[in-house]
Amino acid sequence: MKAFRKIVMAAAVSAMAIGAAHAADKTKIALVVKSLGNGFFEAAHEGADEAAKKLGDVQVIYTGPTDTTAEGQIQVLNTLIAQHVDAIAISANDKDAVVPTLKKAMQRGIDVISWDSAVAPAGREMHLNPSSNELIGQTLVKLAQQALPDGKGKIAILSASATATNQNTWIAAMKDQLKDHPDIDLVTTVYGDDLSDKSYREAEGLMKSYPDLKAIVAPTSVGIVAAAQAVEDAGKTGQINVTGLGLPSEMAGHVKTGASKSFALWNPIDLGYAATMIAYQLATDKAEAKDGATIDIGRLGSVKLDSDNEGVMGEPFVFNADNIDKYAKMY
């Protein structure tokens, strides 16, 4: 028994030595996603590879479970810990369940950040948000204004439900922005409850009640599609512009018809790129995740951390006729 233990120990030591030698070559960054085979995350992988190419001595390990379970992600995390990766950047399936495993990873010297879908603060050094409420409000007003003739006119908001926290925060941020734009007249806010048919009817109602309406802003992926459809069906394409937050794959058709000139959402390529950039700098001790720290994210500028060690990547990404085809294939 003793001899066996010796052999195992010797093998383990040599294995660790090999591992260390490997690590010296390249910084290994694991991009852990909610599940494989999802276009959004495949795009994030593309961004991570782009960052790796720019950084030079980085190996990106793109991995995740087959279905969006916490247990599957933990199984993956255990194999990454065993490989002595230098950093883990995770979009979590469950913000709490992965914490014990990620704590173990940090104890063994692995830097851990979360992106897209956050991990509870105990299980990560920092979290990267794709955008902030203020920036979303700003972008929505900007998109609405760009399509208005002479930058002035009446707009309306088609939201999800009246109690939807996200949407209400964004609408409040929009109203804040609108104070600086007296030419834009926000006539009303209606609620489609994130149901296609109700959103469609609400959009029809808006067009009837306000014949000189110039834009509908829908900060919900269901509402924006329904509004665009309603505008097309009413034959008002070109008169009323539909904008807001939506999925490129669902909006591609409406951008082509002209019902929506542009809309916004997070760009997964940029997210993967930024997460990799940050993970690399934490792993190589070029940056530290602490309150007030500023971390460089290459072509995207920099991220400033708040007191919860959360950072914001930037403004939502704008989709229009020029780039919609590329992103519609992804998500």
- Residues lying near other proteins in the complex (CB under 8 A) are found at 8-9, 11-12, 15-16, 18-19, 22, 36-37, 61, 63-67, 69-72, 74-76, 78-79, 81-84, 94, 96-97, 99-100, 104, 120
Residue 154 Cβ vs other proteins, minimum distance, rounded to whole Å: 37
For 269, half-sphere exposure in the C-beta direction (CA atoms, 13 angstrom radius) is 10
Residue 32 Cβ vs other proteins, minimum distance, rounded to whole Å: 11
How many angstroms separate the CA atoms of 26 and 68, rounded? 30
Q: Is the Cβ of residue 83 or residue 323 nearer to other proteins in the bound state? A: 83
Residue 172 Cβ vs other proteins, minimum distance, rounded to whole Å: 24
Task: Outline where DSSP puts E strands in the chain.
Answer: 27-32, 58-63, 87-90, 111-115, 126-129, 153-159, 184-191, 213-218, 241-244, 262-265, 294-296, 302-304, 310-312, 317-320
Q: Is the Cβ of residue 28 or residue 154 nearer to other proteins in the bound state? A: 28
Q: Is the Cβ of residue 23 or residue 148 nearer to other proteins in the bound state? A: 23
Q: How distant, in Å, are the alpha carbons of 85, 119, 140, 282 from that of 277?
A: 15, 19, 28, 9
Q: What is the DSSP letter of 147?
A: T
Q: Kindly tell me the burial class for residue 40, based on how many C-beta atoms sit within 10 Å of its own C-beta (0-12, 13-18, 19 or more).
A: middle
How many angstroms separate the CA atoms of 158 and 219, rounded? 7
| Strand order, beta sheet including 27-32 | 58-63, 27-32, 87-90, 111-115, 126-129, 310-312
Residue 298 Cβ vs other proteins, minimum distance, rounded to whole Å: 25
Residue 173 Cβ vs other proteins, minimum distance, rounded to whole Å: 25
Strand partners, 287: none
Q: Is the Cβ of residue 78 or residue 196 nearer to other proteins in the bound state? A: 78
Residue 85 Cβ vs other proteins, minimum distance, rounded to whole Å: 10
Q: Is the Cβ of residue 41 or residue 115 nearer to other proteins in the bound state? A: 41
Q: Is the Cβ of residue 74 or residue 106 nearer to other proteins in the bound state? A: 74
Residue 12 Cβ vs other proteins, minimum distance, rounded to whole Å: 5
Q: Is the Cβ of residue 35 or residue 302 nearer to other proteins in the bound state? A: 35
